[in-house]
Amino acid sequence: MPAKLIMPAKAKVPKNYNLLRGFKDILPAEQRYWDFIQQRVYKLADDYGFSRLETPILESAALFIRSVGSDSDIVSKEMYTFLDQGNDKVALRPEGTAGVVRSYIEHGFLNQPQPVKAFYFGPFFRHDRPQAGRQRQFWQFGFEVLGDSNPVLDAQLIHISYKFYAELNLPVQVEVNSIGCPNCRPAYLKELTTILKKHRKNLCPDCQLRLTKNPLRVLDCKNKDCQAVLTDLPQTVDFLCEDCKKHFVSVLEYLDELEVNYNLNPRIVRGLDYYTKTAWEILETGRDGQQDSLGGGGRYDELVNELGGRPTPAVGFACGVERAISRFKNHDIAVKQPVRPELYVAQLGLEARKKCLRLYEQLLQRDYLVAESFSKDSLKDQLEAANKLGVKYTLMIGQKELVDDTVLIRDMESGIQEVVDFKKILDYLPKILSNRVSNSRTDK
Ligand code: AMP
């Protein structure tokens, strides 16, 4: 047992070292979900030729202001921004695409064979109002393809983001739209703003502001009053230029080919400035009233140029890890159980403990799944721990075994014990564990 900390009588214990609001620990019991998701992400990345690219959590605030847009909710309301010790204005990254694009430009990926396919898996930060499905630190995995404008890439990415859930039989649907490009969007925005202005009084205060700053955002407002206004609005797809129209039709044809369950949804505009053409979100079907998306993405053909690179088309998506986990739990998606150890090494006495430390290393070298509690002195406590873990055999060394140079092997189910020569133990174990299922700790 660890020694108890005895506080001096007058020491002040600070009252609140609790987690910040909207932040969560990822506890050991949860890890198998995280491993499961990470493994699926790596599998998809391998299958479709993506390489991992991790950018820093802290970047210059200007990067996000320029790319995501100063009028977006993410930047104007939710970004963690502060001056660092050098008086530089920095931000905790609220999303992944801007960093990937910065990295693409900074490391000269433009000069490599295109397209460049990258994926990431990490934490992001938004000072959102904490509620179910919304945290201030959350994790995303994202896939980005830079340097190619072919619509087959939009379809491939939509397919990957869909497949991540659909392959597990989660009921999901892709909501897809095209929001046009700098050629055709202005005409749409003009028409939209004219109509919205007539309904100004019926819009929520946020949308009244968006009307002048970011009218497209009014389309995905969840406020009931705004929803009523939105029913008869013009749709972006009716204003697309020839190029955008052709692109969108191709994307949909590829999606049909890939048998993606999609729905044309004129309300999908995404909240960020950098999107052009294709925009999509992944929703779980049958969750009326709780339509928090599982993920979303879009094309961003102007962003590399906006951030100082050559004009470079690109497309990508990001999905929330915590939201995926919550759906996996709701739908009882089978995530592999942690692998249980098969052997336990128990010791009684200082010299026996030393011998057991060595034995433990030898067992690990042979890839046995093995457990111990070397800090415990009592054999009873150790056997209890072995029982809890459900191991098949406990290998015990006490005073007698030390003297005889043997090991006492206890079958934990039958309680039968046998004495084996210490030197022969490594040859003996395969015989009694002949039906071993797994020989790798990483096989979780
Ligand atoms: P977005 O870039 O806002 O579309 O976010 C992509 C995905 O990240 C969403 O579909 C969610 O799954 C997840 N996500 C975004 N914001 C949060 C948040 N505050 N808490 C948890 N997950 C989030």
DSSP assignments along 176-234, one per residue = EEE---TTTHHHHHHHHHHHHHHTGGGS-HHHHHHHHH-GGGGGG---HHHHHHHTT--
The rounded Å distance from CA 127 to ligand 1 centre is 12
How confident is the model at residue 14, as a pLDDT?
Answer: 61
Above 50 in pLDDT, residue 341? yes
* Residues sharing a CB contact under 8 Å with residue 220, sequence separation 6 or more, in sequence order: 267, 268, 269, 270, 271
Ligand 1 site residues (CB inside 6 A) read 95, 126, 128, 134-135, 138, 140, 293-296, 318-320, 322-323
Could you tell me which of 365, 299, 331, 341 has the C-alpha nearest to residue 158? 299
User: Taking the model in full, what pTM does it have?
Assistant: 0.88
DSSP 72: S
Of 108 and 128, the one with more pLDDT: 108
Average per-residue pLDDT in the chain? 92
pLDDT band for 221, please (50, 70, 90 cuts): confident
The rounded Å distance from CA 295 to ligand 1 centre is 7
The rounded Å distance from CA 379 to ligand 1 centre is 50
pLDDT band for 9, please (50, 70, 90 cuts): low
Q: Which atom of ligand 1 is nearest to the CA of 318?
A: 6
The rounded Å distance from CA 256 to ligand 1 centre is 27
Q: How far is CA 281 from CA 24, 59, 263, 293, 347, in A?
A: 25, 26, 10, 6, 56
Compute the distance between CA of residue 286 and CA of residue 284 in angstroms, rounded to an integer: 7
How confident is the model at residue 289, as a pLDDT?
Answer: 54
Q: Residue 315 corresponds to which tokens in the numbers above?
A: 């497309």
* Residues sharing a CB contact under 8 Å with residue 218, sequence separation 6 or more, in sequence order: 192, 196, 203, 207, 210, 211, 226, 230
Residue-wise burial string across 129-147, b where 16 or more C-beta atoms lie within 10 A, e elsewhere: eeeeeebbbbbbbbbbbbb
Q: How much of the chain is in helix, strand and coil states, percent to nearest 5? A: 40, 20, 40
Q: Which atom of ligand 1 is nearest to the CA of 319?
A: 7
Asked if residues 396 and 346 have their Cβ atoms less than 8 Å apart, the reply is: yes
How confident is the model at residue 441, as a pLDDT?
Answer: 41
Least confident of 180-194, 282-296, 324-338, 409-423: 282-296
Q: Which atom of ligand 1 is nearest to the CA of 323?
A: 12
The rounded Å distance from CA 273 to ligand 1 centre is 16
Could you tell me which of 256, 297, 295, 246 has the C-alpha nearest to residue 276? 297
Average pLDDT over residues 378-396: 97
Q: Which atom of ligand 1 is nearest to the CA of 270?
A: 4
Above 50 in pLDDT, residue 438? no
The residue whose CA is least distant from atom 9 of ligand 1 is 295
pLDDT, tens digit, for every residue of 414-423?
A: 999 999 999 9
The rounded Å distance from CA 200 to ligand 1 centre is 29
Compute the distance between CA of residue 268 and CA of residue 285 in angstroms, rounded to an integer: 16
Asked if residues 285 and 173 have their Cβ atoms less than 8 Å apart, the reply is: yes
Question: Domains in the chain and their CATH numbers?
Answer: 28-184+240-330 (3.30.930.10), 343-433 (3.40.50.800)
Give the position of tokens 């502001």. 209
pLDDT, tens digit, for every residue of 41-93?
A: 999 999 999 999 999 999 999 999 999 988 888 998 999 999 999 999 999 99
Burial of 398 (0-12, 13-18, 19+ CB in 10 A): middle
Least confident of 139-143, 194-198, 211-215: 211-215
Compute the distance between CA of residue 335 and CA of residue 35 in angstroms, rounded to an integer: 9
Could you tell me which of 284, 61, 265 has the C-alpha nearest to residue 171? 284
321-330 vs 151-166: helix axis angle to the nearest 10? 40
The residue whose CA is least distant from atom 21 of ligand 1 is 134
Could you tell me which of 177, 263, 192 has the C-alpha nearest to residue 232? 192
Average pLDDT over residues 199-228: 86
The rounded Å distance from CA 443 to ligand 1 centre is 30
How confident is the model at residue 162, as a pLDDT?
Answer: 98
Name the CA radius of gyration of the chain, rounded. Answer: 29
Start-to-end CA distance of the chain, whole Å, equals: 29
pLDDT band for 440, please (50, 70, 90 cuts): very low
The residue whose CA is least distant from atom 12 of ligand 1 is 320
The residue whose CA is least distant from atom 10 of ligand 1 is 295
* Residues sharing a CB contact under 8 Å with residue 242, sequence separation 6 or more, in sequence order: none
Asked if residues 48 and 153 have their Cβ atoms less than 8 Å apart, the reply is: no
Task: Determine how β-strand 172-178 pairs with β-strand 262-264.
Answer: parallel
Give the position of tokens 């340097």. 147
pLDDT band for 436, please (50, 70, 90 cuts): very low
* Residues sharing a CB contact under 8 Å with residue 423, sequence separation 6 or more, in sequence order: 405
How confident is the model at residue 1, as a pLDDT?
Answer: 36
The rounded Å distance from CA 339 to ligand 1 centre is 31
SS3 per-residue string spanning 370-422: EEECCCCCCHHHHHHHHHHHCCCEEEEECHHHHHHCEEEEEECCCCCEEEEEH
**Highest mean pLDDT of the ranges 1-5, 224-228, 284-288, 392-396:** 392-396
Q: How far is CA 194 from CA 180, 198, 241, in A?
A: 19, 7, 20
Helices and strands in the chain: count of H runs, count of E runs = 15, 16
Is the peptide bond preceding residue 115 cis, with omega within 30 degrees of 0?
Answer: yes
Q: Residue 57 corresponds to which tokens in the numbers above?
A: 């959590």
Q: Which of 26, 125, 138 to mutate to test the pocket of ligand 1 (most atoms within 8 A of CB)?
A: 138
How confident is the model at residue 2, as a pLDDT?
Answer: 39
Above 70 in pLDDT, residue 16? yes
